[in-house]
Every structure is written in structure tokens, then in C-alpha cells.
Homo-oligomer: A and B are copies of this chain.
Amino acid sequence: MPKIDLQSIEQTNRTGYPSPFDRDVEGRWYRRVAPSSGMADFGVGHVTLRPGAWSSQRHWHDGEDEFLVMLEGEAILVEDDGRSLLTAGDCAAWPKGSTNGHHLINESDNDCVFIVVGGGTNIGGGYSDVDLKFTKDGQYVHRDGTPYPEAERPA
């Protein structure tokens, strides 16, 4: 049945971020929904942020649109132009190519849960607040292009 059994999908807090950027996402627990569901046209993440966790370093994608809908709890969306509260039912969209970086921070005392959808093609992207960018080949590099020690692919 296409109703998705979320519990059957591995939930992980794995990240490929080089140190020390990995610490902010330790409390980000996610499931990759699309592959096991047979979908290939876009990616779907089911994400839980523990209190204090970040969804990512503040970033943008050069070639991939991103959409988020909050399911439970609340988080603060941080962008160049300020902070917005996202609560259950709130939606946000980040079209590819906009360098107005975004991330969510769970500043509450409870978990928050959201769905994030990504489409398009990875051609790289950047981070607003740290010396980091990611390449079309899935590598993390400094802003000057120097590689970080090889870790996992960007997540």
C-alpha cells in the first residue's frame, strides 16, 4: 500500500558536515522517504529536530528548489532578513539560486517534525555563516575551493 510506514524507514542523525559544523545538527533525526517509496522525481525527508537542534547550517542550493511543511511543534526559520516562527501547517519555499540562506532552529522545549522536499539537480550551493560550500560532485569545500577532509556526501 502506498501509505508509507515511516517506522520501517531508518531514522538517522548522520551528517557529512566537517567538524565543527556537524555539532549543530546532532539532534536532527531524519528519514529519507523517497527511495523506498519508489519515487525518483524529487527527494522527501521526514525530519525531527530535538530541542536545540538545527536543520542544517544556513545554506542555499544553486540548482534545487526546496519546500518545507511543519507537521508538529515549532521552529525558528532564520534567513538574511530575519527570523520567522514556523508552527504546524506553516509552509516555506526556497527557490534554487537564491543566495538568501535558510535553516531552522528548534528553540522550543519539545521536538518539532517537518517534511522537506527537494527537486532539480545538485550543481552545488553555499553556506551563509561558515567557511563552507558544497560542490556538484558532493564534496564539502572551503569557500576558496580547498577541500575539507573527505567525509560523507552533503545531507
Q: Given A1-B82, A93-B37, check contact A42 B6 (CB 8 Å).
A: no
Copies in the complex: 2
Interface size on A, residues (CB 8 A): 45
**How many Å lie between the Cα of A3 and that of B77 in the bound state?**
8
* CB contact between A34 and one of B93, B96, B102 (< 8 Å): that residue: B93
- Asked whether A46 is an interface residue with its Cβ less than 8 Å from the other chain, the reply is yes
Q: Given A115-B115, A117-B117, check contact A3 B44 (CB 8 Å).
A: no
Of A40, A67, A88, most buried by chain B (CB within 10 Å of CB) is A67
- Asked whether A86 is an interface residue with its Cβ less than 8 Å from the other chain, the reply is yes
Asked whether A64 lies within 8 Å of B93 as measured between CB atoms, the reply is: no
Q: Given A81-B1, A117-B42, check contact A71 B72 (CB 8 Å).
A: no
Which residues of A are in contact with B by a Cβ distance under 8 Å?
Answer: 1-4, 6, 33-34, 37-42, 44, 46, 64-65, 67, 69, 71-72, 77, 79, 81-82, 84, 86, 88-96, 98, 100, 102, 113, 115, 117-120
